[in-house]
Amino acid sequence: MKIADNKNYYTDIWGCQMNERDLEIIENLLDEMGASKSTSMDDADIIILITCSVREKAENKVFTKLGELAKLKEDNPNLIIGVCGCMVQQKRVLKRIKHRFPQVDLVFGTYNLHRLPELLSKIIERKDNRVMEVWDEWDELGKERLESIGLNRKDYLKSKVIISYGCNNYCSYCIVPYVRGCERSRPPENLINEIRFLADKGCKEILLLGQNVNSYGKDLPGEMTFAALLEHVIKVEGIKRIRFMTSHPKDFSNSLIKVISESEKICNHIHLPVQSGSNKILEMMRRGYKREEYLKLVEKIKNSIPDASLTTDVIVGFPGETEDDFQDTLDLVKHVEFDSAYTFIYSTRTGTEAEKFDKQVEEKIKKQRLQNLMQLQNKISLRKNKELVGKELEIMIDQKRDVKNGKTSYMGRTDTNKIVAIEEFSENILGTFQEVKIIEAKTWSLKGRVV
Ligand code: SAH
Ligand code: SF4
Ligand code: F3S
């Protein structure tokens, strides 16, 4: 009998794809312990929250959730509540949970994922009431175990593969390097073995993940680069589409542009966070490029990969951002014509360099700037999507939606990462590639009919 047999677990998650990948590993470990995944909190014996600290809002949502869980625990005192992810890597948050959230039984950090079975066992066997383990780096065992425990996925069609952990860039606003540590590239052999394993299980699309995939390999012996890694990934049989994120503009090499443009398998979508269009702000952000360099890179990409879609992240209201700086951002967004953009209001993060910057922008102004930026970008997104109406595109069908009168509607994505809702279809086409005629365009998605 396994230690968590007969127990149901429920997970809740915030944050980026790194967390989504960690979630898969956590669920693998819980499955191995004998627990079963539940889709409702109400019948769960174990609830794990996988948290994000990139903005204050994300953290507040977790604290609110913990409040709700306290009530659930009153009704069910045996409920085990666990918190992990980026938030608990911060001493201030750890302290707050320790003293103000007694309902939390288990805390484990981003370097302690592999320790989940040991830590949870202590609680289940009642050796300890509360277990909190947050390390600042991996032990050798953790590194080794992470390479093997995470192989299985619940769904293989589209699989995420982390190529590097952490980040060395220390952009002045960002908490990620503090909670995820310095950049560590995984050895290429391990990556290729993992991708082969996934392909054997039916994976058609791989998403290579890193905070900055373009600096992959810099910490490895030899001459490994991201472009060279891609050359190896292309050769894995069965994989039809290769995606990657995030690309830091300062490390985007010509050889990378070349492999993307020459390979059918590498998707023509580049997520290239610009953050700001003002040189003054870019410098204060420590982004490592100027507006002109960014624009030149965009031009190079557009010339070499004409079909590429470009997406970005933008922060408004960084300390010291004047109306002129903001206009520079709008101007850049107009000029580049991104396919879509994630737009954020600057959020002060404790411990980062920008925390100490003065000239904080007023909340009201930040909100107004966000509105203006979103309005502009939405117009551009819609216009770009409308250009696709009437075109026939290859769509990978990756989601099955509701069934009506024996017919099912499906969702899929273009090579350029646009979401397409497919008109109802009677055959099961999940996991296949289909030629789809685009019949309608919205700001965030397209509608299409299988040809
Ligand atoms: N490594 C990636 C993404 C990191 S976090 C990159 O560099 O692009 C994702 C996005 O969150 C960032 O691109 C940035 O736009 C936003 N972000 C990070 N810290 C923030 C903060 N303190 N306030 C607001 N947005 C932030
Ligand atoms: Fe944060 Fe900058 Fe690293 Fe991205 S590159 S994770 S924004 S420090
Ligand atoms: Fe959030 Fe951590 Fe990702 S802070 S954005 S979950 S790396």
48's enclosing H/E stretch is strand 46-51
Q: Which ligand is nearest to the CA of 58?
A: 3
Mean pLDDT of 248-274: 98
* Whole-number pLDDT of residue 404: 75
Interval 343-355: pLDDT, tens? 999 999 999 999 9
Identity of the amino acid at 451: V
What percent of the chain is modeled with pLDDT above 90? 90
Mean pLDDT of 283-310: 98
| Contacts made by residues 89-97, CB under 8 angstroms, sequence distance 24+ | 89/53, 89/134, 89/136, 89/178, 89/179, 89/180, 90/53, 90/175, 90/178, 90/179, 90/350, 90/351, 92/350, 93/53, 93/59, 94/132, 94/134, 97/66, 97/132
Mean pLDDT of 236-253: 98
| Ligand 1 neighbours by CB, cut-off 6 Å | 54-55, 173-174, 176, 211-212, 246, 248, 273, 275, 313, 315, 344, 346-347, 349
Q: Which fold has domain 141-386?
A: pyruvate-formate lyase- activating enzyme (3.80.30)
* Cis amide leading into 246 (omega within 30): yes
The confidence band for 426, taking pLDDT boundaries of 50, 70 and 90, is: confident
CA of 428 to the centre of ligand 1 (A): 39
**The pLDDT of residue 315 is above 80:** yes
CA of 173 to the centre of ligand 1 (A): 8
Average pLDDT, the chain: 95
The confidence band for 145, taking pLDDT boundaries of 50, 70 and 90, is: confident
Interval 363-384: pLDDT, tens? 999 999 999 999 999 999 999 9
Residue nearest to atom 4 of ligand 2 (CA): 211
* Whole-number pLDDT of residue 369: 98
CA of 346 to the centre of ligand 1 (A): 9
* Whole-number pLDDT of residue 12: 97
Q: Under CATH, which architecture does the 8-139 domain have?
A: 3-Layer(aba) Sandwich (3.40)
Determine the Cα–Cα distance for residues 247 and 207; give it in Å rounded to an integer: 13
**The pLDDT of residue 328 is above 80:** yes
**The pLDDT of residue 29 is above 90:** yes
Residue nearest to atom 11 of ligand 1 (CA): 54
**The pLDDT of residue 334 is above 80:** yes
- Percentages (nearest 5) of helix, strand, coil residues in the chain: 40, 25, 35
CA of 226 to the centre of ligand 2 (A): 17
The confidence band for 147, taking pLDDT boundaries of 50, 70 and 90, is: confident
Interval 159-194: pLDDT, tens? 999 999 999 999 999 999 999 999 999 999 999 999
Contacts of 89 (CB under 8 A, 6+ apart): 53, 109, 110, 134, 136, 178, 179, 180
* Whole-number pLDDT of residue 363: 96
* C-beta separation of 437 from 421 below 8 A: no
* Whole-number pLDDT of residue 56: 97
Residue nearest to atom 2 of ligand 1 (CA): 211
* Whole-number pLDDT of residue 403: 74
Give residue 240's Cα distance to chain centre.
21
The confidence band for 67, taking pLDDT boundaries of 50, 70 and 90, is: very high
* Whole-number pLDDT of residue 141: 83
* Whole-number pLDDT of residue 149: 83
Interval 396-419: pLDDT, tens? 999 998 777 777 889 999 999 999
Any ligand 3 atom below 6 A from CB of 176: yes
CA of 52 to the centre of ligand 2 (A): 14
Interval 73-97: pLDDT, tens? 999 999 999 999 999 999 999 999 9
Domain boundaries, the chain: 8-139, 141-386, 392-450
Q: Which fold has domain 392-450?
A: OB fold (Dihydrolipoamide Acetyltransferase, E2P) (2.40.50)
**The pLDDT of residue 361 is above 90:** yes
CA of 92 to the centre of ligand 3 (A): 17
Q: How far is residue 84 from each of residues 11, 107, 130, 187, 262, measured CA to CA in Å?
A: 11, 6, 14, 26, 41
* C-beta separation of 266 from 260 below 8 A: yes
* Whole-number pLDDT of residue 140: 83
Mean pLDDT of 57-67: 97
Any ligand 2 atom below 6 A from CB of 214: no
Domain 141-386 identical in fold to domain 392-450:
no
Interval 98-136: pLDDT, tens? 999 999 999 999 999 999 999 999 999 988 889 999 999
* Whole-number pLDDT of residue 427: 84
Pocket test for ligand 2, best of 176, 182, 245, 275 (most atoms within 8 A of CB): 176
